[in-house]
Amino acid sequence: MDDEELWYRAVMTRDPRFDGWFFVAVTSTGIYCRPSCSSVTPRRSNVVFYPSAAAAQKAGFRACKRCRPDASPASPEWDRRSDVVARAMVAIADGLVDREGVGGLARHLGYSERHLGRLMSAELGAGPLGIARAQRAQTARLLLETTNLKMPEVAFAAGFSSVRQFNDTVRAIFAETPSALRRRANRRSKEISSGSPISLRLAFREPLDGVELFSFLAARAVPGLEDGSVAGYKRALSLPRGAGFVALAPPTPGERWLRAKVSLEDLRDLTAAVKRLRQLFDLDSDPDAVGEVLSSDPQLRPLVARRPGLRVPGATDGAEMCVRALLGQQVSVAAARRLAGRLVSLHGERLPAGLLAGGKTTVSARFPSPERLGSLDPASLAMPASRARALVSLGRALTAGGVSLEPGVERGEVARELRGLPGIGPWTVSYVAMRALSDPDAFLPNDLGVRRGLEALGLPGDPASALLAADRWRPYRSYAVVHLWSAAGDRRAAPGKQEVA
């Protein structure tokens, strides 16, 4: 996407597929928009394109009040790429700059602050602080519109260091004061109260196969941690500053968003919660690009046509997903759920009662922390001795930093770290890359469900043949895996004695 004439054609046709890829600023109005904005199409001579909302804001443009460009889906490039800018964008979206500053981000990525700033400014038109500032503004508007928190509480929950900085940023980006934003929202909604969960709309690019996505998560829901069905999904969250609880509903016809209600122990975790929910449901995917690549294979084309918009279910916590993958090696989905449920029941941390107020759910606890798992006696765990030792070893490695699954980590380094631990094989490493690290090109040639899916297509299911076939599906082999699981049919067994979480 480097042809501005192509971008302008997307603006003329109001194509929502390009939302988040770039932003459209109009010099005659001083406003920047999504490509799909329903406003009158501006003249080409009045249009300037920017690679990020932060770059448009830095240039002095205000966010459009009609299309709300700051709430666009993120660019799918950040998951597809593994370079330092992409990793930085993932970490910033999780709130790392708000928690640890630009210095913390640079240390996390292994670069100097100056060099990181140069790289990001060259590609995105703004440095780490500018990207984080744009994100804080979006979080602040969300809190202003959905809660009755006092202004200082909104400012600090959104990540601002002072109320003055909060006021100045909101006025600069939205051309309204925080109080004006709240008054306008109050006229639209009568259900705002200080103790209520925060209501979210999580935007995505169409199409999205919500039935398959919610069914997948429901079939693997761990008792006590998750509660799911085709009609909705609930779970406990482990976030940087505390616990959370979320209830999500699938989109209704015509909607381009998932509806979510999030309750947080610490409101400063809202940014991280939004990012992790987007990852769980793969909402930043570009389904048209995925479909185009996979449909180029005649044998896979019927699967893609039958399931347009199929997503790769992700994770809200990388450490949790890694442990669940380890538990699921060589056992059925049902057995793995029982093992994980037992861990949650015996060693999980109970959710504060206030997070669950006002709703019926079986969710009661967070997944055990790596620190807790690393402190266990392997002999006390009701599972094979070798797996118990591997579980405790993984918990200790995650705690000590021998393995890091934090947002923005380098995938190749994670693979090397995991391969060095006892009891972790190639399937687990690839599965973690696929679901915990959002790698769109992971592949599982030894997976039983993949083999069954290939055989359903009349293809050889052995690992060597599977790898050969999968070369045609790069860089979206993870999506091909999900299509093959779907083709295998029986979700309780497929992908059989391997995939679980």
> Model confidence over 419-458: pLDDT tens digits?
999 999 999 999 999 999 999 999 999 999 999 999 988 8
| Average per-residue pLDDT for the chain | 91
Q: Determine the pLDDT at residue 496.
A: 38
Pair of tokens at residue 247: 């209830």
- Give the count of domains, the chain: 4
50 part of a folded domain: yes
User: Do residues 437 and 409 make contact, with C-beta atoms less than 8 angstroms apart?
Assistant: yes
The domain spanning residue 182 has which CATH number? 1.10.10.60
Secondary structure of 120-133 as H, E, C letters: HHHHHCCCHHHHHH
Dihedral sign from CA coordinates of 259, 25, 16, 126: negative
pLDDT at 492 over 70: no
Place of tokens 């640890």: 100
Would you call 447 a catalytic residue per the annotation? yes
Kindly provide the b/e burial profile for residues 339-371, where b requires at least 16 CB atoms within 10 angstroms of the residue's own CB.
bbbbbbeebbeebeeebbeeeeeebbbbbbbbe
49 part of a folded domain: yes
Q: Determine the pLDDT at residue 497.
A: 44
Q: Taking the model in full, what pTM does it have?
A: 0.91
Whether 371 and 223 map to the same domain: the answer is: no
CA distance 416 to 430: 11
CA distance 471 to 466: 9
Whether 112 and 249 map to the same domain: the answer is: no
Strand partners, 62: 31
500 part of a folded domain: no
**Minimum mean pLDDT range among 51-55, 144-148, 159-163:** 144-148
Q: Determine the pLDDT at residue 145.
A: 85
Where are the alpha helices (H) located in 282-384, listed in sequence order?
287-295, 301-306, 318-327, 333-347, 370-374
CA distance 495 to 483: 11
pLDDT at 136 over 90: yes
What are the tens digits of pLDDT across the range 160-188? 999 999 999 999 999 999 999 998 877 55
Whether 367 and 385 map to the same domain: the answer is: yes
What are the tens digits of pLDDT across the range 192-223? 444 578 989 999 999 999 999 999 999 999 99
Whether 460 and 327 map to the same domain: the answer is: yes
The domain spanning residue 224 has which CATH number? 3.30.310.20
Interhelix angle for 128-146 vs 96-109, to 10°?
Answer: 160
Burial environment of residue 375 by CB neighbours within 10 A (0 to 12, 13 to 18, 19 or more): middle
Q: What percent of the chain has pLDDT over 90?
A: 80
Contact partners, residue 95, CB within 8 Å, separation at least 6: 135, 159, 240, 268, 269, 271, 272, 275
**Minimum mean pLDDT range among 74-78, 94-98, 129-133, 297-301:** 74-78
Domain end marker among 137, 162, 188: 188
Q: Determine the pLDDT at residue 3.
A: 78
434 part of a folded domain: yes
At position 112, the amino acid (one-letter code) is: S
Whether 447 and 357 map to the same domain: the answer is: yes
Whether 178 and 240 map to the same domain: the answer is: no
Whether 350 and 479 map to the same domain: the answer is: yes
Q: Determine the pLDDT at residue 491.
A: 39
The domain spanning residue 25 has which CATH number? 3.40.10.10
Kindly provide the b/e burial profile for residues 146-171, where b requires at least 16 CB atoms within 10 angstroms of the residue's own CB.
bbebebeebbbbbbbeebeebbebbe
Whether 338 and 425 map to the same domain: the answer is: yes
501 part of a folded domain: no
Would you call 266 a catalytic residue per the annotation? no
156 part of a folded domain: yes
Whether 389 and 477 map to the same domain: the answer is: yes
**339-347 average pLDDT score:** 97
Domain end marker among 71, 96, 111: 71
The catalytic residue among 98, 286, 439, 447 is 447
Q: Determine the pLDDT at residue 313.
A: 97
Question: How far is residue 322 CA from its own chain's centroid?
Answer: 16
Whether 59 and 97 map to the same domain: the answer is: no
What are the tens digits of pLDDT across the range 266-289? 999 999 999 999 999 999 999 999
Phi, psi of 147 (to 5 degrees): -135, 170
Identify which of 72, 38, 28, 67 has the alpha carbon closest to the alpha carbon of residue 53: 72
Q: Determine the pLDDT at residue 70.
A: 84
Q: Determine the pLDDT at residue 499.
A: 42
Whether 165 and 261 map to the same domain: the answer is: no
In which domain, by residue range, is 116 found? 82-188
Domain end marker among 71, 99, 130: 71
496 part of a folded domain: no
Q: Determine the pLDDT at residue 191.
A: 46
pLDDT at 391 over 70: yes
Dihedral sign from CA coordinates of 94, 95, 97, 101: negative
Whether 329 and 252 map to the same domain: the answer is: no
Secondary structure of 396-461 as H, E, C letters: HHHHHCCCCCCCCCCHHHHHHHHHCCCCCCHHHHHHHHHHCCCCCCCCCCCCHHHHHHHHHCCCCC
Number of H helices and number of E strands within the chain?
23, 9
Identify which of 129, 175, 176, 179 has the alpha carbon closest to the alpha carbon of residue 154: 179
Distances, alpha carbon 327 to alpha carbons 57, 317, 382, 388, in Å: 46, 16, 12, 9
pLDDT at 108 over 80: yes
Q: Determine the pLDDT at residue 354.
A: 87
Strand partners, 259: 201, 249
User: Do residues 248 and 226 make contact, with C-beta atoms less than 8 angstroms apart?
Assistant: no
445 part of a folded domain: yes
The domain spanning residue 421 has which CATH number? 1.10.340.30
Tell which phi-psi region holds residue 168, choosing left (phi > 0), alpha (psi between -120 and 50) or beta.
alpha
CA distance 58 to 23: 13
The catalytic residue among 33, 37, 67, 322 is 33
pLDDT at 2 over 90: no
Enclosing H/E stretch for 203: strand 198-203
Map residue 23 onto helix, strand or coil: strand
